[in-house]
Amino acid sequence: MKISWESPSNIALIKYWGKRDIQIPLNPSISFTLSKCKTTTEVHFTKGTGIDISLDGKDKPEFIPKIENYLQRIKERHPWLVSYRLQIKTSNSFPHSSGIASSASGMSALSLCIVEFANKIGFKLGALDFYQEASILSRLGSGSASRSIYGGIAVWGESSYLKNSRNEYAIKYPEIIHPIFKNYCDVILIVDTKEKQVSSTLGHSLMDSHPFNEQRFSQAHKHVKDIKRILQTGNVDDFIQLTELEALTLHGLMMSSSPNFILIKPNTLKIIEKIREFRNNSKLPISFTLDAGANVHLLFPNSAKNKTMEFVKNTLIQFCRGENFISDHVGLGPKRLTNFEE
C-alpha cells in the first residue's frame, strides 16, 4: 500500500530551545505554519523489514540511520512497524541548498503517512485522534515538526495560558486570532546555504547547563501570555517587539552557551538593520524573526505586501546569497495525497 502526504515547514514566533527526556520541550513554543515550503513524501509499505529512502528521485542511504533511529523511537507506540518494509520517496519544494531545515516538513510528512497506514491496517490509536498521534510521532522525529501538523498557528508545550496545550503533542492554537494574522506573509531571505556548523540537537542540549536557562524558560511562558493578547487584538507594534525579541534571544542564548556559537552572518545583521530603517521611514509593520541559522524571515501583514516586496527587491536582495528569497505565507497545514493501491 502506498500512502502520500505533503506537509509544510513552520516558523516559530516563540522559540523552542531546550529539551529533556525524549523530545519534551523545556518551554512552550508557538509558530506560523507555512504554505509553500513543504515536503512531499510517499511511503510504500510492504511486508518485510528494512528501509529505502530517496530524495528527488535519488537514493539517499545516508538518511537511513536517522530514519532508523526515528522508527526505533516510535516502535513502542507502533509495534506493527517491525514487520513492514518502508520505501520512502521524498521531495522538498525548497532547494536542499537553501539553508532551510527540512526536518519539520520532512518528519511531519513521514509521520502522517505512518499514522494513516496504521489506521488502514486497523491499528488502534487509543484515546488520541489522528492528528494528535501524527504530532507525537513528528515530535519524536524532530521537536519543531510536531507543530507542522496543523494549519494556521500551532502550539507545542504546556502553558497555563493556553487550554489543552501539551508537551507530548502540538495543538492548533486554541484562542481567538485577529484576521490580520490569518494570511500573514513570511519572506525568507536566504543568507547562507551551507550546512549548519552546530546542530539544533546540540544547541538544545547546551540549554541544560546554560546560566540563563531558568530566566529564559520563564520569559517564554510570559511571552505566551503576551502573544495571546497580541494575536487577539491584532496589535502589530507589540507583535514586532515580541517576535524580534524572541529571535534575538534565541541567538543570544547560542552566543552565551558553553561552548558558545554564532549562526548569524554579517548579511543577517545588514538585513536586520535595513528592515529597522525601512520600518522607521515607511511606518509599515514589518518585522523579522530568525530560525537556528543565518536566514532572515521577514514577517508582515498581507496588506503591506506590495510595498514590502518592492523593498525586498530594491534593497534586501543584495544581501541574499545568489539573490535568493522565498515568498511564503501562513498556510492551511498538511494535505493527504494518497491513492490507495493494495
- Map residues 38-67 to x or -, x wherever contact with ligand 2P0 holds by CB under 6 A: ------------------------------
Choose, by CB under 6 A, the member of 3, 12, 153, 320 that binds ligand 2P0: 12
Please report how close the Cβ of residue 341 comes to ligand 2P0 at its closest, in angstroms.
Answer: 32
CA dist list (Å): 137 to 18, 102, 125, 170, 217? 19, 16, 12, 11, 24
Please report how close the Cβ of residue 17 comes to ligand 2P0 at its closest, in angstroms.
Answer: 6
- Map residues 88-127 to x or -, x wherever contact with ligand 2P0 holds by CB under 6 A: -------------x-x------------------------
Full DSSP string of 8-68: EEEEEEE----EETTTEESS-EEEEEEEEEEEEEEEEEEES--EEEEETTEE-GGGHHHHH
Q: Does 15 bind ligand 2P0 (CB under 6 A)?
A: yes
Question: Closest Cα partner for 244 from 228, 215, 268?
Answer: 268
Choose, by CB under 6 A, the member of 7, 29, 40, 287 that binds ligand 2P0: 29
Given the rule CB under 6 A, which of 200-208, 217-225, 311-319, 326-334 is the region that contacts ligand 2P0?
Answer: 200-208
Please report how close the Cβ of residue 1 comes to ligand 2P0 at its closest, in angstroms.
Answer: 28
Residue 299 CB neighbour total at 10 angstroms: 28
Phi, psi of 57 (to 5 degrees): 80, 0
Helices 103-120 and 64-74 meet at what angle, rounded to 10?
50
Q: Does 16 bind ligand 2P0 (CB under 6 A)?
A: yes
Choose, by CB under 6 A, the member of 144, 243, 249, 267 that binds ligand 2P0: 144
Please report how close the Cβ of residue 95 comes to ligand 2P0 at its closest, in angstroms.
Answer: 19
Q: Which residues pair with 86 in a beta bridge?
A: 45, 51
Question: Closest Cα partner for 103 from 138, 149, 68?
Answer: 138
Q: How many residues bind ligand 2P0 (CB under 6 A)?
A: 17
Q: In whole angstroms, what separates CA 270 from the centre of its chain?
A: 24
Q: Does 292 bind ligand 2P0 (CB under 6 A)?
A: yes
- How many Å apart are CA 102 and CA 223, to the nearest integer? 26
Q: What contacts 132, CB < 8 A, 6 or more positions away?
A: 169, 171
- Map residues 242-271 to x or -, x wherever contact with ligand 2P0 holds by CB under 6 A: --------x---------------------
Q: Helix H segments across the chain? A: 64-74, 103-120, 130-141, 200-205, 213-233, 236-255, 266-282, 305-311
Choose, by CB under 6 A, the member of 69, 201, 232, 260 that binds ligand 2P0: 201
Residue 196 is given by DSSP the state P
Helices 236-255 and 213-233 meet at what angle, rounded to 10?
160
Please report how close the Cβ of residue 14 comes to ligand 2P0 at its closest, in angstroms.
Answer: 8
Given the rule CB under 6 A, which of 12-20, 47-55, 298-306, 333-341 is the region that contacts ligand 2P0?
Answer: 12-20
Please report how close the Cβ of residue 147 comes to ligand 2P0 at its closest, in angstroms.
Answer: 8
Given the rule CB under 6 A, which of 80-88, 137-145, 231-239, 251-259 is the region that contacts ligand 2P0?
Answer: 137-145
Please report how close the Cβ of residue 205 comes to ligand 2P0 at its closest, in angstroms.
Answer: 9
Angle at 146 between CA 143 and CA 149, to 5 degrees: 155
User: Are the beta carbons of 182 and 331 closer than 8 angstroms?
Assistant: no
**Interface with ligand 2P0 by CB under 6 A: which residues?**
12, 15-17, 23, 29, 101, 103, 142-144, 200-201, 204, 250, 291-292
